[in-house]
């Protein structure tokens, strides 16, 4: 590398335990450099470097040992118990050398920096025989000027010795939140000693856990520009404020031209230049200067909106410095979104939210928060850009609009924030304080937070500078269920104070006087986002820190709708179950872990679930709470095996999380202002609180949330049985109609109702009518309810499907319903682009409609006039069902259409059956073709896969269109499989 810019050192790393290396750092980088992965050196784990989308390093000790098979997979079964813990082995055992070599050929006038974006916990760096130190702290950047020691004409040798946290702690026999809490004395992630959702990380995540890079500049270096937008005239006018740090490394006063350019992407790689400005700056030798540009004015800018409220438009801002007589010295660029967040506390609900008059708003519009708690992508910090994108897109797909980065986890990486910017997820970012490790717990933890308060504040300031330009970043919070020590808290309040403009909700032209009369907002450390001292203070939960978040267990679905369920306006944590599918259990546990829980009947009539030891180790949450909640899986009948248990668990997952969000939105703005579910994902192979597992397969709860959180939504209040319409948008719904239809298990439609036209105001939940079927004469004990909301143009705005039972009944009648053979017609079209697949699947329930009070509407039926011939599929293996089936009830009809010019094809499959009724709980999955060497239990799933919907049911005559997208490795032939309550053996549909 010889040009101005930055290059990542993301390949060729070796690692070795320090105690097994007989050379010093000077020797390793001069005379005794390792030449390859021969003992004691091994290839270091740098996840995702075979993927062009991956941009993070994670030179993590445990990940490296796992890559080289020196340890068993700590996420499989109970293998983590076989890995020696740092408390028993000592810190030296997990003190490691990392080594790489690289080329860099700067000119004599260039300056070169070696950058570490994060290490855990301290290190010595050796480059070409010269030693440098990386001081302590997990959440800080390190920049080393190596201009004088870099080789211009030969390979550079780099060795880094990484030391674990100073206080790794010991894991008590009872486990607990944060082990013995010693890790809280360091400025580091606290989950690594284990939690009620995670077992301990044995090396406490020792390593280089973010990118390493080399940057080349001229005499002037740009550092940490700060971008801020201020709006006026009802958001028709916006000013972009920008301040940057400039460092003159030369021995003379430099005359500089400082440029700022703002571009907007029009289409593809075509961009328009929105603004260009050049300023002259003179900087004394060997000095730092702060420069603030005159504000740039934009008329009618395109805005950045949270998910579900509009598009996430991002401009590209580039700052370049040219030095007189030298040329370009440095350049910096960042995506930036124009948006304004306002925040106060609502006196009526005591909850924090975005309200149209007095409370939180984004771009002047209230936002009802429905989101989740984020721990981290992977417990071993095997972080990659591609994994981050999948994680964040999953949350956007669930129609969420906020993620809370929990205080026991990470200061999340810029790559995480990049995808939150792209997909519209607001982020609540906490600093590294948790009540369990900072003031309470068993044993009682250190009440004064980390030992080094100055280090904590240094890391906090550096984190703010790293993340502050992201429009998705919405809120700074001092800690989880605790406030920082007094001096840290006061310092954060002072340094993160709002600029006066952002203390006001005024966006008129008069507001510009406030900007002119005070410091430019881009000169603040942040100045645009509120700082809250703790997750249950200042408007969250009861606002007093009295542990009023939760609960975290299975609930009766109707309880979410009751007025006394939760007393406060905004709940930062409420959680429940999270059982994955059976294939994930088999992929992550040995056969002894496939045993389902023993359902033990208690004298009071409730069931106690007794899980096997491996499930218990993986933090399983039962589907019953004796004395309060009857076992929600047993409501469907006693499970017979792992597949049956997990299938019924998905039914419960869907109901549980849909009811949770629908219960909150039922009282949107009248009582509740938002909710964050604990938690959305698992950083390991856990069995609780997740919408997708660590392998990236979604649970049915994912789609229950997706349904409940859609911007316009029709729902059934499970406590009152009134049908409600939720409108979270800024537009009125006018001349709307709700259609309600009940189907019984015999395929009849005994109840049908269509409302008169009505309107729903913006940001409102409105009661429409009472669903009276349960009170009718001879109602069926188990039935299906289909709700549809149409607008004035008869466009369906929302669809919601329920399976329900009468009070005091259960779902056991669904068990014999499995034997029903409901006919389906499935059309699929696939488009293949290199390794990427996009598949459109159209599934129609072709069964008849008996005894209906109104003809059944064929919603979304696809035009099938495509001249595709239908032939009996039994003559082709591609058309046969997978597994055992009563072939006499099934006729397969399929044909491939293949264009000579494109990689797309059409397939039509028809499943015949004699019965009429609902095709219940259909779900699609993508698999690689199984090889002859694989056993029947081999996990053939291709993951991750994005589905526009899944775990859905179809009434007679209904059609569902599903979009599927995924990547597959070269040489892999993907198959799309359809399963369902009535289709247990599964069918290949594409």
**Angstrom distance (rounded) from CA 945 to CA 965:** 6
Provide the 10 A C-beta neighbour count for residue 250. 18
Q: Which residue from 29, 31, 435 is spatially nearest to 195, judged by alpha carbons?
A: 435
Q: Residue written as tokens 């808290």?
A: 489
Kindly list the distances between the CA atom of residue 955 and the CA atoms of 294, 742, 847, 858, 987, in Å, as whole numbers in the listed order: 62, 10, 9, 9, 19
Residue 550 region, left (φ>0) first, then alpha (ψ -120 to 50), else beta? left
The answer to whether residues 362 and 339 touch, using CB atoms and an 8 Å cutoff, is yes
750-759 contact pairs (CB < 8 A, 24+): 750/776, 750/779, 750/780, 750/783, 750/851, 750/853, 751/776, 751/853, 752/852, 752/853, 752/854, 754/854, 757/792, 759/732, 759/733, 759/734, 759/735
Backbone torsions φ then ψ of 687, nearest 5 degrees: -120, 45
Active site residue 777: no
H helices of 716-825, where? Answer: 814-817
Provide the 10 A C-beta neighbour count for residue 546. 10
Q: Which residue from 726, 721, 701 is spatially nearest to 804, judged by alpha carbons?
A: 721
The answer to whether residues 725 and 666 touch, using CB atoms and an 8 Å cutoff, is no
Q: Which residue from 418, 379, 402, 421 is spatially nearest to 477, judged by alpha carbons?
A: 402
Kindly list the distances between the CA atom of residue 368 and the CA atoms of 424, 591, 632, 944, 966, in Å, as whole numbers in the listed order: 14, 44, 29, 29, 31
- Kindly state the helix (H) or strand (E) to which residue 378 belongs, with its residue range: none
- Kindly state the helix (H) or strand (E) to which residue 20 belongs, with its residue range: none
Catalytic residue among 481, 609, 647, 739: 481
**Angstrom distance (rounded) from CA 26 to CA 38:** 20
- Provide the pairing of β-strand 237-248 with 712-716: unpaired
Kindly list the distances between the CA atom of residue 234 and the CA atoms of 377, 511, 515, 761, in Å, as whole numbers in the listed order: 39, 11, 16, 21
- Kindly state the helix (H) or strand (E) to which residue 493 belongs, with its residue range: helix 486-495
- Kindly state the helix (H) or strand (E) to which residue 460 belongs, with its residue range: helix 453-467
CA 86, chain centre distance (Å): 30
Query: Under DSSP, is residue 958 helix (H, G, I), strand (E, B) or coil?
Result: coil
Kindly list the distances between the CA atom of residue 680 and the CA atoms of 249, 323, 397, in Å, as whole numbers in the listed order: 47, 49, 12
Active site residue 495: no
Distant-in-sequence, close-in-space partners of 549: CB < 8 Å, separation ≥ 6: 481, 535, 536, 541, 571, 572, 573, 574, 678
Q: Integer distance in angstroms from the first to the last C-alpha of the chain?
A: 47
Q: Which residue from 616, 617, 610, 619 is spatially nearest to 577, judged by alpha carbons?
A: 619
Q: Which residue from 132, 497, 501 is spatially nearest to 341, judged by alpha carbons?
A: 501
Provide the 10 A C-beta neighbour count for residue 792. 12
Q: What tokens appear for 839 in the block?
A: 């598949």
**Angstrom distance (rounded) from CA 572 to CA 585:** 30
Query: Under DSSP, is residue 708 helix (H, G, I), strand (E, B) or coil?
Result: helix
Q: What tokens appear for 57 in the block?
A: 């390093």
Q: What tokens appear for 329 in the block?
A: 């010295």
**Angstrom distance (rounded) from CA 204 to CA 185:** 13
Catalytic residue among 389, 412, 430, 573: 573
Please give the positions annotated as active site. 481, 573
């Amino acid at each position: 590398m010889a040009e101005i810019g930055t290059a990542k050192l993301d390949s060729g790393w070796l690692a070795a335990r320090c105690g097994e290396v007989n050379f010093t750092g000077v020797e390793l980088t001069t005379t005794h450099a390792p030449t390859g992965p021969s003992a004691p050196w091994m290839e270091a784990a740098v996840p995702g470097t075979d993927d062009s989308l991956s941009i993070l390093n994670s030179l993590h000790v445990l990940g490296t040992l796992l890559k080289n098979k020196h340890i068993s997979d700590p996420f499989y079964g109970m293998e983590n118990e076989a890995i020696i813990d740092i408390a028993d082995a000592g810190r030296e055992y997990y003190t490691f050398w990392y080594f790489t070599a690289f080329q860099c050929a700067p000119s004599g006038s260039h300056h070169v920096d070696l950058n570490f974006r994060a290490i855990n916990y301290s290190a010595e760096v050796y480059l070409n025989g010269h030693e440098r130190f990386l001081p302590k702290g997990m959440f800080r950047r390190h920049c080393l000027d190596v201009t004088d020691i870099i080789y211009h004409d030969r390979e550079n040798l780099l060795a880094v010795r990484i030391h674990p946290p100073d206080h790794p702690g010991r894991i008590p026999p009872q486990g607990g939140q944060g082990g013995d809490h010693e890790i809280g004395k360091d400025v580091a992630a606290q989950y690594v000693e284990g939690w009620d959702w995670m077992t301990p990380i044995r090396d406490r995540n020792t390593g280089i856990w973010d990118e390493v890079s080399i940057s080349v500049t001229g005499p002037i270096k740009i550092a940490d520009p700060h971008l801020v937008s201020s709006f006026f005239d009802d958001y028709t006018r916006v000013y972009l404020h920008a301040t940057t740090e400039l460092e003159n490394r030369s021995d003379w006063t430099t005359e500089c031209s400082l440029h700022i350019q703002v571009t907007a992407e029009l289409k593809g790689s075509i961009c328009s230049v929105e603004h260009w400005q050049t300023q002259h700056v003179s900087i004394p030798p060997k000095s730092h200067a702060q420069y603030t540009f005159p504000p740039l004015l934009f008329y009618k800018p395109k805005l950045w909106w949270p998910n579900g409220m509009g598009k996430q438009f991002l401009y590209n801002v580039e700052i370049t410095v040219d030095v007189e007589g030298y040329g370009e010295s440095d350049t910096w660029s960042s995506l930036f979104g124009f948006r304004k967040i306002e925040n106060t506390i609502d006196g009526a609900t005591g909850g924090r939210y975005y309200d149209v008059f007095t409370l939180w708003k984004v771009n002047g519009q209230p936002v009802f928060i429905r989101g989740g708690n984020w721990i981290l992508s992977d417990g071993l910090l095997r972080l990659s850009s591609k994994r981050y994108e999948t994680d964040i897109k999953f949350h956007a797909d669930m129609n969420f609009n906020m993620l809370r980065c929990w205080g026991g986890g990470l200061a999340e990486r810029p790559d995480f924030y990049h995808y939150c910017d792209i997909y519209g997820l607001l982020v609540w970012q906490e600093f590294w304080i948790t009540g369990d490790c900072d003031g309470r717990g068993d044993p009682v933890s250190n009440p004064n937070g980390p030992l080094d308060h100055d280090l904590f504040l240094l890391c906090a300031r550096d984190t703010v500078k790293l993340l502050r330009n992201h429009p998705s970043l919405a809120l700074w919070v001092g800690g989880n269920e605790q406030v920082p020590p007094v001096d840290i808290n006061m310092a954060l309040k002072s340094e993160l104070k709002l600029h006066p403009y952002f203390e006001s909700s005024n966006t008129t032209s008069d507001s510009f006087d406030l900007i002119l009369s005070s410091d430019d907002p881009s000169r603040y450390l942040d100045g645009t986002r509120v700082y809250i001292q703790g997750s249950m203070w200042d408007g969250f939960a009861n606002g007093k820190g009295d542990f009023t978040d939760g609960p975290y267990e299975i609930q009766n679905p109707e309880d979410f709708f009751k007025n006394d369920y939760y007393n406060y306006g905004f709940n930062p944590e409420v959680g429940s179950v999270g059982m994955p599918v059976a294939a994930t259990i088999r992929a992550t546990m040995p056969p002894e872990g496939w045993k389902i829980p023993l359902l033990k009947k208690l004298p009071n009539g409730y069931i106690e679930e007794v899980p096997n030891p491996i499930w218990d180790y993986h933090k399983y949450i039962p589907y019953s709470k004796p004395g309060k909640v009857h076992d929600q899986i047993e409501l469907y009948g006693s499970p017979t095996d792992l597949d049956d248990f997990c299938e019924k668990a998905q039914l419960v997952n869907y109901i549980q999380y849909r009811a949770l969000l629908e219960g909150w939105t039922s009282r949107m703005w009248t009582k509740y202002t938002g909710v964050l579910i604990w938690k959305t994902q698992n950083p390991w192979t856990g069995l609780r609180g997740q919408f997708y597992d660590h392998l990236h397969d979604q649970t049915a709860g994912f789609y229950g949330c997706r349904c409940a959180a859609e911007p316009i939504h029709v729902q059934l209040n499970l406590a009152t049985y009134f049908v409600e319409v939720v409108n979270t948008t800024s537009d009125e719904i006018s001349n709307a109609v709700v259609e309600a239809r009940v189907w019984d298990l015999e395929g009849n439609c005994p109840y049908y109702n269509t409302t008169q036209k009505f309107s729903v105001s913006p940001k409102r939940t409105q009661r429409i009518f009472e669903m009276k079927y349960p009170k009718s004469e001879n109602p069926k004990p188990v039935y299906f309810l289909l709700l549809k909301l149409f607008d004035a143009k008869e466009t369906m705005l929302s669809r919601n499907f329920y399976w329900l039972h009468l009070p005091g009944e259960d779902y056991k009648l669904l068990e014999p319903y499995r034997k029903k053979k409901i006919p389906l017609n499935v059309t699929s079209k696939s488009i293949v682009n290199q390794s990427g697949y996009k598949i459109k699947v159209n599934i129609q329930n072709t069964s008849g409609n008996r005894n209906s009070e109104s003809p059944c509407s064929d919603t979304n039926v696809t035009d099938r006039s495509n001249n595709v011939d239908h032939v009996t599929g039994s003559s082709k293996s591609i058309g046969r069902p997978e597994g055992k089936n009563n072939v006499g009830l099934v006729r397969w009809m399929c044909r491939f259409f293949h264009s000579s010019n494109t990689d797309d094809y059409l397939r039509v499959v028809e499943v015949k059956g004699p019965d009429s009724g609902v095709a219940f709980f259909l779900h699609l999955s993508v698999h690689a073709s199984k090889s002859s060497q694989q056993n029947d239990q081999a996990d053939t799933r291709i993951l991750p896969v994005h589905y526009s919907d899944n775990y859905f049911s179809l009434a007679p005559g209904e059609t569902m269109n599903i979009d599927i997208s995924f990547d597959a490795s070269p040489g892999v032939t993907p198959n799309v499989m359809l399963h369902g309550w009535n289709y247990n053996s599964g069918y290949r549909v594409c």
